[in-house]
A and B are shown apart, each in its own frame.
Chain A
């Protein structure tokens, strides 16, 4: 068989990541002229299988209780080998990343991670991903079947709803008990405890902010709205407007966000040294010649005092419309 399989591990909902995964799976299946199957491993909430069935041809639910590395791997291996897929796709959650290479090994296939694109090229599966810390893009051709991939599924377009939902079967497996490794405690971190170095979105202020109050009154609400962490340049910390723990730069924290919003920051290289791994930098600054703009993906030349309140309104509106 040549099917495409997508795997959802311990899902709490059919979220954006899962939807994107289904979308990518569907498009690949179409190119291969194949079926799209979803393996839902131990859904945490009932009804997910039904939701998934709206967009895939077949849903197989395997209930193993809470995820444990070895049993989950065994269950997936067993289930996948029954399907003999051409490709097995995962999202980029922790469990998926952990499982993928080992699953590929057991299925006799090949794995690639952090995939952003999947294509067929002369009967072979090709994927692309960023390498060298984001400096280059690689195209990799899988030489074994199945191709087992974990992907940045949140950025894929979701699948269309089927006219008729797919079938849902429950599969019970006899997995030998393997307690060589056991997760004994699972902790969820609340947003505020997140470290700046791990933040995916950062709102940062610099010298041009002018004082401590705008950090509290303007930037913090903006950050909260974006689910972002607050940071600052050395100048702002030096002036005592924000605590030094917020300092980003050469002497300060090095951050790797997907979006770094630099507000009233000139962008001198000592500051840029702290955000060299940021994937997208955007800036609000009154000076069109400010060095920060040379590193930006997009920006606006305007006084932040005029932009930020308005920006919060606009962002809120956009968020509301997305719900």
Chain B
């Protein structure tokens, strides 16, 4: 089975809120002191692929990323986790491509890389959280798509998988080729690569392309545009419920709680 896993490198989502800053002109987060990390759902996807290969050998795993030159580190880490091959499409155009652009570029790279039976994508990225890559990529590649998968295994003529829903889960059977988006599960926590593999990963070859190499031409019409990005002013001050009597104050508390829970 030929698996392709898409990987996105993002700013560390766990930087303290206090250090998070936004570039109001560029409409994106400032790099600041934040580190660059692989999106967790992408790591979940890679882990799922690796476990798939452990259980059902004769599987090749390629990782692909579309991003800045720094995304190479994420790909090296994927190689250290023992992915077989890696490819990077360097984004030398816009800093924050919209979901359609991402899907189109990834599709072009995938076509150039070969033919794949299964394409795995993280369900969403920890920065913009658009969650569209899997669906749009499936459309570009004319493949079916299943979202929020956490486990899969081969089945006669295809794949059998489990996916999470808001009320529980579902089991699906699907034919390949297929695009899936992966969500996190207690079983796909990404493994820590062995130190030796980390050292080796830097010596492995990696395909690198520019957008021109792919022959990618961006479309005339944009998909969408970020027109504003701001940090909402957080009330760091706790609202202490008011009231003259205990009864009044607890009533106030109950109301506030109900406000939040009823919106769920």
Contact = CB atoms under 8 A, between A and B. Distances in A.
B166 A94 contact: yes
Contacts, number: 224
Contacts of A252: none
A99 B246 CA distance: 49
B98 to A, nearest CB: 8
Interface in B118-137: 126-132, 134-136
A130 B231 CA distance: 10
A284 B250 CA distance: 10
Contacts of A294: 236, 238
Contacts of B170: 183, 185-187
Interface residues of B, number: 74
17 contacts: A98-B147, A101-B99, A102-B135, A105-B135, A110-B223, A126-B227, A132-B127, A137-B231, A139-B228, A154-B264, A178-B144, A186-B170, A258-B263, A259-B260, A297-B235, A299-B241, A307-B246
A142 B225 CA distance: 7
A300 B253 contact: yes
Q: Which 5 A-B pairs have the closest CB atoms?
A: A101-B135, A314-B254, A101-B132, A139-B228, A296-B238
Nearest to A133: B13
A231 B23 CA distance: 38
Binding site of B, secondary structure by majority: helix, strand, loop or mixed? mixed
B13 A132 contact: yes
Contacts of A215: none
Interface of B: 13-14, 17, 20, 22, 27, 29, 98-100, 126-132, 134-136, 138-139, 144-148, 164-175, 178, 221-232, 235-236, 238-241, 246-247, 249-251, 253-258, 260-264
Given A131-B129, A183-B172, A297-B239, A310 B135 contact: no
Given A144-B223, A297-B235, A136 B22 contact: yes
A181 interface: yes
B226 A315 contact: no
B253 A307 contact: yes
